[in-house]
Amino acid sequence: MNRIEKALRVSTRRPLVVPFVTAGYPEFDSTAGLVRAMAAAGADMIEIGMPFSDPLADGPTIQAASEIALANGMTVAGVLDIVRDLRTGSGLAQVPLLLMGYCNPLFRYGLERFARDAVEAGVDGVIVPDLPPEESVEYRAACDDAGLSTVFLMAPNTPDDRVRAVDAASTHFSYCVSVTGVTGARSSVGASTVQFLERVSRLAKKPFVVGFGVKSAEHVRVLGPYAAGVVVGSALIDAIAQADPIIAVTGLVSELREAAAEIEREETDG
């Protein structure tokens, strides 16, 4: 049983807390410390963003973080070095680490080489927002051969047959985008998002997480009962920009983890 499978076993009792950080932001060497702080605060899985110059699925917050990270000199190889460092004597032996990035840098790096190097570094899975399952045959083959989990996305307007296709193409779990649009913290969660997650739960055979627009402990309480995990990205990037980065991520991830634990207690009490 690999790290993702072990984490998903926890999701049967409570939603997983999945924070996101952009590699190389706010400083080139900030990422490892931030990831360690997230893990210590209770993160179940962690997404590390690979910065790209044209991040079409990302809103202004993560776009700005990517620009800074690229200016700091972060590359795909640099991201793999960060993961390699995290897996060496840092207490992160069991926390799944997933990379989120775009297909252009991966094709340039070489898909087979990337998948092989990612697994060697300690990466568990990859999310590529601009690579749909229909165009991912070569990518999936490279990941399957290397033992790298693939995660594909679906949106609220995804029809039922495509929900099934995304679910089938994803190795361990898929990713539900909570809104039709780009990433970015939003003030509230609409009833339509819950309805979307309920629809996916009826159609998908594998677990799924929910992200995009999720920012707070209250959002975890609202969405957590309907998904295996809740991803928070832009809110963490915003927090990092406004305060001491380690203190910021520790505080927010701790709040998210407590909200997830409340769902677990409520289900147990019931």
CA–CA separation, 4 vs 162, rounded Å? 24
Do 200 and 228 meet the contact criterion of CB atoms below 8 Å apart? no
For position 189, what pLDDT does the model report?
66
For position 178, what pLDDT does the model report?
85
Catalytic positions, please? 47, 58
Number of structural domains the chain divides into = 1
What DSSP letter does each residue of 12-63 carry, written as one string?
Answer: TTSPEEEEEEETT-SSTT-HHHHHHHHHHTT-SSEEEE---S--TT--HHHH
| pTM strictly above 0.75 | yes
- Give the residues of the chain that fall short of pLDDT 50: 181-186, 265, 268-270
For position 266, what pLDDT does the model report?
52
For position 269, what pLDDT does the model report?
46
State which residues form the domain around 112.
3-269
H or E element at residue 266: helix 245-269
CA–CA separation, 86 vs 258, rounded Å? 25
Residue 118 maps to which CATH number?
3.20.20.70
